Every structure is written in structure tokens, then in C-alpha cells.
A and B are shown apart, each in its own frame.
Chain A
Amino acid sequence: MDIDDILREVDPAHHAVAREKQDLQDLTRAWIAERSAPELLHWPSGGLFERINANIKRQIEKVEEMTGDMDPRTNFALIVIQTELERYKYLVRSYLRARIAKIDRHTLHYLSTDELRSRLSEMELAYATRHQALLHNHYLSSFLSSFPPALQNLNDTAGNISMIDPPDLESAVFIRLLRDTLVEGRGVDADGAMDGKESDIVILRWSDAKPLVEEGSAELV
């Protein structure tokens, strides 16, 4: 603990600022990671999205209140607030859409085990289950019902070939190291390892990068 930490603790105003900045950084990092990773990542814990959604709602209410005010000075503040609001909403929207795209592509995969299900938020889980049920019903009524019962499953694993299509966890990603750490990567001809320095940008397979990202030593870029 250094002097900054002590100062921050005794000053409530600083703490509030830190929280908002922190949320923005966390949201941005989550968005970049979700946009870059080949598979669906964990829904952020710690109530990040509840907080962000509540803040956005409050800000929209504030904009509505201020719109009636025709004072030129508050008018400019309003423009700034609205611009920021739009930027924030864009981040949230793009993040959610990137997740939905992954859920849509591999619905059965993300619904297949509890571990994978736990990555989805409550809403996403409801969406995925309902969507899959609708799809299955549609297939059943349009063609599946005329198949022999043994062939009606959509998640068959007979013949060592699974019908559930998982995302390619071996695809390459770019990561930035957030601290000095050993980076190991598996390659075609040989397995590599390097002493990574903070701020290094490394290309490697997602399956090798994942532990580093999860322990917070690296982030996707």
C-alpha cells in the first residue's frame, strides 16, 4: 500500500470516481475480449452490468429533465452528456450483440454442460433455451417427424461424430501482457515459450492464451 491508496481510502469522492472509471475500463476490456475471443466468455461477475444499466437509466432520465431547459450553458452540457451516453450505449450494445452471435452459432454447445451454461447470463440462458426449443419444434413439424425416431435427435454423437458444433478453441488470437510472465504456446513444429514482458503483444492459440487471460496476466486485443 502506498500513499495513493491511503489517500484514496480516506477520500470518498475519489473512491466514487475510481468506481466509475473502473467500470468503464472493465466494460471496455470485456467488449474487446468478447469481440476477439473465438468462444463465449464468462458473463462479468460483481454486478458490473446491473450497475452500468442502472447508471445508463439514470443518465437518460437526467437528459429528459434537462431537455426542457433552454439555458445555453446547460445546453452544451446536455450535448456532452448525450454524446457520452451514446458512446456508452454503443459499447453495451456491441458487447451483447457479439455474445448473441456466438450463442446463436453454437447454441447446443453452450447449453450442453453446466460449466458452459454458467457463462451465460440469466437473460441469455432464457433466450438460448427458448430459441433452441422453437427451432427444434419447427424442425420437428417441418421434416424431422417424418424421420425414423432414432434419427430425430439434434445432438447425436453416434459414429464418433458429434452433431453439436463447438467453436474452434485453437484459433489464433492477439493478447497484450499486463505483467511480466512466462508465455507458452503450442505450435505445429515445436512448442514455444518466452519470458513475456509487460505490454508485449503476442500471437498464440486461444487455448494457450486462455489461462493467462483468466488469471488477469493478459488481455485480448
Chain B
Amino acid sequence: MALPLPPGLTHSEVAFLAEMEMVTVVPRQRLDSIELLSGKTPPLRPPRREQLPLWLALLLKKQRRANIVPPPWLHPTSLQDIIHKETKEDPAAFSPPPPPASSYRADVGRPGMVRRNDNGLDMASPPFRNSCTADALPGYLPYHWLEVAEALLAHAGDDMGAPAGEVRSLLRDLVEVRAAKMRSSTSALEGFGGGLMSLRGVGAMELAETRGFVLGVVDGVRRIGAAAEANRREEEEEGGFRNDREEEESDDDMGI
């Protein structure tokens, strides 16, 4: 009954999450609004574009009831732009995630999706961010980029607007460039003494892939260095009077 999995989402769980991303569809048939647990679906009236969660869009696509509009970042020019960013502009870091303002702007038509707290902050996070709809910004990879791109290529390759082969090969380049970065970031873990490491722009699947290794290294380093860390903390706490005591201690040592 209890879940036998270790902490951290697995690949299939990440893929499940990615299916909650909203995408834009162009319906080919009328379909009345359906009352779902996550709210009513918009009534589909061809050819008006609507936004639906990916799992539902794929279901409609398989039954040829709708076409999926690929998100702008999946367009070959946008992908080339991202690859350029990843390799030339900043070869060390991942390309930046989509700015929050854009996802909010894309959301104005459907106020239900975004929660803003009292400070006016946008608290929605992927997959509830509309970063895979037709209104998303090109040139930025959203958190679930790999899963969404794979799903769209596998099931809606003919809707891509560009040859699916081209998109696929660009995606493969991107996967490789970023996998190399992920690997080099693990070498930064060797000296994981600072207590923090930022991986801004990383994707969900990439994280799921390296999670076990990265967390294992960080926890291992912590265990090995536990004694040293405790010493350091003690020293810091004692602060000022530490110098005198050290001298005393060394005197004692000599006496022995």
C-alpha cells in the first residue's frame, strides 16, 4: 500500500505532470463543454482556437477531432535561437526560463489559471503556467519542454508547421548540448561545500534523470564532511575567544 519509490519524481511521474500543460488546439468538430474535475472545458467551435490540457488535446488529436498548434518555442527558428544561446552566448549556463510576465500576459483571457497573492505576485508554476500554448514566447524553453516536444512530435507531427524531422534533429542537438552542461555541473558538485547550487533554466526531465546522482553526491559529501562541518560551526560560534583557548590547548598538547 505504501509507495515503494524513493523521494523525487520519476520519469513517468514527470511525464504525467507535463500532460497537464495547456496547449492550443484548433477543433475540427464541434464539441460541447464537458464538466471536468478541473473545471469546464471550453465549448469547441471550429475554427476557433481554444486552450486545453495536453492529455485532452492528444486524445482529441488521436480521434482527429482537433489539430494542435505547436508552441512558438518549438519552431525551428526559435530552437536554433535557443541552441545559439546555449552554445555561444552563455556556454556554461542553461538558457533562461520564460519570464513570468509573458506567461501572465498570455493568461489574461482566462483569469482562472493564475493566482496572484497580495503582493501581486504570480504564484502559478509549471505545469500551470501556459508556457506551451500558442501565446507563449519563442526563444525560451519552458520547464516541461522535452516532454511536451516529444509528445507533440510523436502524436501531432503533422501539425508542426515545419518538417518534423528538422524539429526532431534540432531537439536532439539541444538535448545533447544541455546534457553536457548537466554533466559538467555535476563536476561542480565535487566541491559542493557552499551549501547552494543553482540550476536556473533546467528542465523537468533533465532533473529527473540526474536527481538520484546529484542528491547522492550532495548527501555523500555532507556525511563525509559532517565532522569537519561541526568543527567549523563550533569555531564560528566561539568566535572571539577562540584564539586564547587554542593557545591553551596547544600548550596542553605539548605537555603530553
Residues of A bordering B, CB below 8 Å: 2, 4-5, 7-8, 14, 16-18, 20-25, 28-29, 32, 35-38, 52, 55-56, 59, 62, 73, 76-77, 79-81, 83-85, 87-88, 90, 94, 97-98, 100-101, 104, 168, 170-174, 176, 178-179, 183-194, 196-205, 208, 216, 219, 221
Instruction: Report if B211 contacts A (CB, 8 A).
Output: yes
Q: When the two chains form the complex, which single residue of B4, B38, B232 contacts A84, counting CB atoms closer than 8 Å?
A: B38
Instruction: Report if B45 contacts A (CB, 8 A).
Output: no
Which residues of the partner chain B approach A172 to less than 8 Å between Cβ atoms?
A: 214-215, 218-219, 222
Given A20-B38, A81-B34, do A201 and B199 touch, yes or no (CB 8 Å)? Answer: yes
User: What number of B residues sit within 8 Å (CB to CB) of A?
Assistant: 72
* 21 pairs, A vs B, C-beta closer than 8 Å: A24-B128, A36-B9, A62-B35, A77-B34, A84-B55, A100-B1, A101-B3, A171-B219, A172-B214, A172-B219, A174-B211, A187-B196, A188-B192, A188-B228, A189-B225, A190-B195, A201-B199, A201-B201, A202-B199, A204-B195, A216-B117
Instruction: Determine chain B's interface SS by DSSP, over half rule.
Output: loop
Instruction: Report if B177 contacts A (CB, 8 A).
Output: no
Given A76-B31, A100-B1, A216-B123, do A56 and B37 touch, yes or no (CB 8 Å)? Answer: yes
Which residues of the partner chain B approach A202 to less than 8 Å between Cβ atoms?
A: 196-199
Given A21-B113, A97-B2, A203-B218, do A174 and B207 touch, yes or no (CB 8 Å)? Answer: yes
Q: In the assembly, what is the distance between CA of A221 and CA of B127, in Å? A: 11
Please provide the chain B residues from 159 to 211 with a CB less than 8 Å away from any CB of chain A in the complex: 191-202, 204, 207, 211
Which of B13-21, B82-90, B149-157 contacts the other chain? B13-21
Which residues of the partner chain A approach B197 to less than 8 Å between Cβ atoms?
A: 202-204
Q: When the two chains form the complex, which single residue of B63, B125, B194 contacts A178, counting CB atoms closer than 8 Å?
A: B125
**B55, A204: Cβ atoms under 8 Å?**
no
Instruction: Report if B32 contacts A (CB, 8 A).
Output: yes
Q: In the assembly, what is the distance between CA of A185 and CA of B197, in Å? A: 9
Which residues of the partner chain B approach A183 to less than 8 Å between Cβ atoms?
A: 196
